[in-house]
Structure 1
Amino acid sequence: MLDQAKGVYIVAQTPFKENGEIDLDSVDTLTDFYFQHGASGLTVLGVAGEANKLTQAESVAVAARYVKRAQGRPVVVGVSHSSVAQLAELTALVMDQGAQGVMIAPPGGLRTEQEVLGYFDAVFKRIGNVPVVLQDFPFSTGTWMSVPIMGELIARHAQIQVIKEEDLPSLTKITRLRALPGRRVAILTGNNAMFLPLELGRGIDGPMAGFSHPEMLSQVYALYTAGKVGEAHDVFDRYLPLLSYENQSQWGVAVRKEVLRRRGAIRHAGMRTPGPRLDATDHAEIDRLLQRLARDLKDAG
């Protein structure tokens, strides 16, 4: 069950062909790449997965392909939508394909805590007993949830088994969430894993984040949970320049996909329109960052 989730849940990209069509063969190679580099599970059709650019049929096809290639390892599917009816329909379809659960964020436009509670009451009435990751990402959604309201949602809805926490500052909110009374839920964190070692120190169960070098996420998690805190920070620091370069919203997704292409994980790095396109200067910066990373890793042995 998702309430036992721990480790690294990689936020997966959606690969496209040069003509903009879904590249399902690259879904296979990308899935293999993530698990070969230490992923415990995958989260697909999130913001970084360009979910808002897919049709309903494409969303189901992508989710189904990830689930099939994962071969029983957990796959969580983002289904957030302002329409409860569309959210419920996609939830049923991806759960039928074998997803372990779905990720839901509140839509924009909810202005009061009562509206947040009412929205999720309607959602859970429609989707039934489906394991849910509650995504707290106000930078993207525009809707802020307080810790008491998140605690109320957990108390009301047993389907909520994980919180994906990516409000800022994440650290103080994690501490307050961990102090909530009642049943324990797993806490995984996003924000491109920019604060991963510190968040592990606050009691999270792992990252739910994307990065072109998922082995960093899995190494930091393994070292930190083994009590090798200093070593975990050292590994994190070596990758930090590239990590921060990728932490630039949708432009950063374009960078990440280019690095994944260079590493052989996908065939084509393009994003579906509308989306940024990298120029020669961008590619030169990526070259420099990767060269420095390779040097630092060699120096570290």
Structure 2
Amino acid sequence: MTISRTENGVYSIAPTPFTPDGSVDYTSIDRMVDFYTQAGVTGLTVLGVLGEAPKLTQEESVEIASRIITRADFPVIVGVSAPGFAAMKSLSGAVMDAGAAGVMIAPLRTLRTDDQITNYYRNASQAVGTDTPFVIQDFPLTFSVEMSVSVIARIANENANAVMLKHEDWPGLEKISALRALEEDGAMPRLSILCGNGGSFLDFETERGADGAMTGYCFPDTLVELVGLAGKGERDAAHDLFDAHLPLLRYEQQPGVGLAVRKYVFQRRGVLDYDAQRAPAGKLTDTARQEVDYLLDRLARRDSRAANLPK
């Protein structure tokens, strides 16, 4: 069960649950996978930026990924980004052996020119193995690496195992249209395009040709419904649902606080036992928690999924 260029739907970015002392919370991991199953997601992406991957040891990364893969009945993509190709190769081999559906690779922050970016992905493709499908992570707001449409096309043309783009450029709607135009003209192979940024532009991204979402908003069931409505051409219903969630979605997208919000809401939804992050990490202030509670109360008037959440 490996990913291909035709993937669509919602691949949720999963957080890594921790206990207050920083230990991995495997009980919550099991409950979290069950929650995503009930939410109807197409798949999961684990050990990404918001999975706190840099704070994990190699052994923990493999154990967490393996635990999730074993429990899930859907494809699991594993982030294997690393400063060097040796670590990337080791982690990729271990998680693919455990049953991962593919891996996700972010660019090094030092990459600046088009040739540096394409050379990096060519080497990364070799490191993970050309039979291992991988996701190109295009997130300039975090990685400070600007991938033009032509660079993404080069990566797709040069690496048969580059099958998906995690699109998080901002603004990025025109980028989706340009990529689909190149595909239509035969200038590049098709890539599955799944969008991030918490779903901030998902209402229009699907209309521009995106295949769905790969993000970690605290209501993944909403993203599943939204992508489904868009796929059926129910434009107004999709936008109405998006509009109802936009205030909370926007709040969760704040740099530096988004993961804390997400884990707090997941705790309130009964997914996680704790909203803890592994150090170093920020915490929600009492005021911020009250603001999130207020947004949930307002959302509950329009979406019952936010109603009656214990505090």
1:168 to 170, 182, 190: 170
Query: 1:212 and 1:127 mapped to 2: Cα distance?
Result: 31
- 1:235 counterpart = 2:241: yes
Amino acid at match of 1:120: Y
- Say yes or no: does 1:102 pair with 2:108: no
Check the 8 A contact 1:82/1:108 in 2, yes or no.
no
**1:11 maps to what in 2?**
13
Aligned residues: 297
Q: CA deviation at 1:82?
A: 2.2
Query: Corresponding residue for 1:216?
Result: 222
Determine which of 149, 154, 157 is the counterpart of 2:159.
157
The alignment partner of 1:4 has SS state of: coil
What does 1:1-301 correspond to in 2, within 5 Å? 1-71=3-73, 73-128=74-129, 129-180=131-182, 181-297=187-303
The two structures, once aligned, show a CA RMSD in angstroms of 1.1
Distance 2:165 2:233 in 1: 24
Give the partner amino acid of 1:209. T
SS in 1 for 2:279: coil
Deviation track 1:166-217 (CA, whole Å, cap 9, x = no partner) reads 1111101111111122321111010110000100010010000111111110
SS in 2 for 1:119: helix
Does the 8 Å contact 2:11/2:44 carry over to 1?
yes
1:38-57, Cα deviation, whole Å (9 max, x unpaired): 21100001111111111111
One-letter amino acid matched to 2:161: Q
Query: What are the Cα deviations for residues 75-132 of structure 1, in whole angstroms up to 9, with x where unaligned?
Result: 0001112211111111111111110000001111112111112212221222221000
Asked whether the equivalents of residues 260 and 275 of structure 2 are also in contact (C-alpha less than 8 Å), the reply is: yes
Once structures 1 and 2 are overlaid, which stretch shifts more, 121-130 or 262-271? 121-130
Distance 2:256 2:10 in 1: 22
Regions of 4+ moved over 2 Å: none
1:12-49 deviations in whole A, cap 9, x for unaligned? 01000111000111111111111211211000011111
Amino acid of the residue matched to residue 127 of structure 1? V
Identity, % of aligned pairs?
45
TM-score normalized by structure 2?
0.93
Q: CA deviation at 1:2?
A: 2.5
| Contact in 1 for aligned 2:12/2:215 (Cα 8 Å) | yes
Instruction: Give TM-score, length-normalised by structure 1.
Output: 0.96
Q: Distance in 2 between matches of 1:278 and 1:126?
A: 39
* Structure 2 residues not aligned, in runs of 5+: 305-311
Judge conservation of contact 2:135–2:164 (CA < 8 Å) in 1: yes
Assess if the C-alpha contact under 8 Å between 2:103 and 2:132 holds in 1.
Answer: yes
CA–CA distance in structure 1, aligned partners of residues 88 and 256 of structure 2: 23
Tell whether the 8 Å contact from 1:190 to 1:209 is kept in structure 2 after alignment: yes
| Amino acid across the alignment from 1:137 | F
CA distance in 2, matches of 1:263, 1:242: 14
Cα distance in 2 between the residues matched to 1:297 and 1:122: 46
Greater mean deviation of Cα atoms: 200-209 or 241-250: 241-250
What is the one-letter code of the residue matched to 2:148?
A: S
Aligned residues of 1:136 and 1:165 also touching (Cα < 8 A)? yes
CA contact (8 A) 2:88 2:127 kept: no
